[in-house]
Amino acid sequence: MGAGVLCLALAVSTLLPVSDPAPVEEPVPEGFDEIEVLSIGVIAGPQGAFQVVLPGEKITRILGSNAVESEVARSQREWLETGIIPGGAKYHDMAERALLDLHMLMRAPDALPGAVVAAPTGIWEYVWPRDSAFISVAFSHTGHLQEAEEILGFLARVQRPDGLFEARYLPDGSGVPDDRPLQFDGCGWVPWAVAEWYSLAPADTRNAAARKFLPMVVGCLNAVERRVDTLTGLPEPSPDYWEVPETEATLGSTAALLLGTRQTARFLSEFAPERTDDIRRARTLAARLEWGITDHFATAGFPRRLTAPPRDASLAFLMPPFTDFAQAEAVTAWSEALENMRRPAGGVAPGESWRQDGVSWTPQTALAALVAAAGGDDQQAHHWLRWLDDHRTALGSIPEKVQSDGSPGDVAPLGWSAAVTLLALLELENGLGLGGYLSK
């Protein structure tokens, strides 16, 4: 995808067909179903809200002349220039498109400021705290701190009185779309995002916003403290990124809550050092969760669930850059799990026990790139980043899924995938190695 394609994705003078992916010469392997492609990207719509681009759709693009960019193109370019585009020449196009896609996902119809939907259509057009936190962190590290702050502001607005977050929210802030159960890991990811934003925001302006986020962070601390067993160090059962009901604690939720409590202590120590009791509680809770993981999940080989041996991609959350160091056993388990999660097109599935449908998932593949970059394995990081780059849609967006034949599936862009990809590029480019830049 060249720079010209970026301009065309924003504005052209006439009706222009968007090219479909190259025809697949080989049939879908027997036993694998084709996945409907619901979108290949987003562009700016006439009233400021995004416009979904469908496969093969002709898009009306507005341009005064071939020599003058449209106002939309100019505003997008100016926005990009307020931050950085990671990845160097090799990944510039992918990073640029990922940033523009995340910016556009904040423009859902009737959305409140800071509401960033997971994807632009269907059951994805809602705000997940998990996805939003990753997007906020990505924006913080690319220098788009206003957008990162706005995302945190939306999350502070919709947080429940008991401190927890719903699984997902309507982007207009009016409530939830259905009766999905709570997902506790939101109280892990959101404090992490607040701590990252605060550490990078200008020192002369950040405290005013931080005061608005303080109740959200402490609310999460209170909520998690109530739900972690003091004897086992494990949280109550809750769905995680698999989006399925759970009857026992998962590694995904437990590791996210460990990250969140550590980052709560970090944020409070930097912003409100006088809150010594809250800092102590956060550190105590983090130690309890860490003990729970070590005493239960580690001794069982780091499974997704203690009663179900297969592992999943949540092992990534126990690795740099989400922590300063990783246990050797965790590194081995992660490496083995990645091999077992590989799919025909070259990406990975969410877990070892995931259905054998041939589908690669880009969020988990991007996590593999991020962990490799943070661990100093540049070769593996480039391997996964090249795969993500090679499997973008015709408009240049990263889809949620890649089918067994290598073609995109379901929706594009997926905000979580774009955000993790940007973080992987930043980690690789900065060359910070173990410990990374996400947890200080």
C-alpha dihedral, 149 to 155 to 157 to 159, nearest 10°: -150
Q: In this predicted structure, what is the pLDDT of residue 19?
A: 36
Residue 265 lies in a domain: yes
**pLDDT tier for residue 47 given thresholds of 50, 70 and 90:** confident
Contact 183, 167 (CB under 8 A): yes
Residue 437 lies in a domain: no
pLDDT value at 433 more than 90 = no
Contact 362, 401 (CB under 8 A): yes
Q: What is the DSSP track for 73-114?
A: HHHHHHHHHTS---SHHHHHHHHHHHHHHHHHHT--TTPPTT
Q: In this predicted structure, what is the pLDDT of residue 33?
A: 73
**Does the N-terminal peptide bond of residue 321 adopt cis geometry, omega within 30 degrees of 0?**
yes
**Which of 32-36, 153-157, 253-257, 416-420 shows the lowest per-residue confidence on average (mean pLDDT)?**
32-36
Residue 251 lies in a domain: yes
pLDDT value at 84 more than 80 = yes
In sequence order, the 6+-apart residues with CB closer than 8 A to the CB of 166 are 129, 158, 160, 176, 180, 182, 183
User: Which tens digit of pLDDT belongs to each residue from 135-158?
Assistant: 999 999 999 999 999 999 999 999
CA distance 18 to 8: 10
Residue 414 lies in a domain: no
CA distance 66 to 12: 8
pLDDT value at 169 more than 70 = yes
Which token pair is 94?
């992918």
Mean pLDDT across 241-245: 96
Percent of the chain's residues with pLDDT above 70: 88
Residue 226 lies in a domain: yes
pLDDT value at 436 more than 50 = no
DSSP 3-state of 197: helix
User: Which tens digit of pLDDT belongs to each residue from 170-210?
Assistant: 999 999 999 999 999 999 999 999 999 999 999 999 999 99
- CATH number of domain containing 226: 1.50.10.10
Q: In this predicted structure, what is the pLDDT of residue 89?
A: 96
Q: In this predicted structure, what is the pLDDT of residue 59?
A: 58
Q: In this predicted structure, what is the pLDDT of residue 68?
A: 40
Number of structural domains (the chain) is: 1
Residue 336 lies in a domain: no
CA quadruple 259, 264, 266, 267: dihedral sign? positive
pLDDT value at 63 more than 80 = no
Query: What are the strands, taking DSSP E only, across 335-413?
Result: 360-361, 401-402, 408-409
Range of the domain at 209: 112-307
pLDDT value at 101 more than 70 = yes
CA quadruple 206, 321, 171, 187: dihedral sign? negative
For 185, counting Cβ atoms within 10 Å of its Cβ (0-12 exposed, 13-18 middle, 19+ buried), the class is buried
Higher pLDDT, 183 or 11: 183
Q: In this predicted structure, what is the pLDDT of residue 58?
A: 66
Q: In this predicted structure, what is the pLDDT of residue 133?
A: 98
Q: How does the average pLDDT of the chain come out, rounded?
A: 89
Which token pair is 209?
């916003």
Residue 277 lies in a domain: yes
Residue 29 lies in a domain: no
pLDDT value at 334 more than 90 = yes
The region that residue 145 occupies, defined by phi over 0 for left and psi between -120 and 50 for alpha, beta otherwise, is: alpha
**Which of 54-63, 213-222, 347-356 shows the lowest per-residue confidence on average (mean pLDDT)?**
54-63
User: Which tens digit of pLDDT belongs to each residue from 284-330?
Assistant: 999 999 999 999 999 999 999 999 889 999 999 999 999 999 999 99
- C-alpha distances out from residue 97 to 7, 41, 153, 259, Å: 11, 10, 25, 29
CA quadruple 283, 287, 293, 296: dihedral sign? negative
Q: How many CB atoms lie within 10 A of CB 238?
A: 24
Q: In this predicted structure, what is the pLDDT of residue 309?
A: 87
pLDDT value at 279 more than 90 = yes
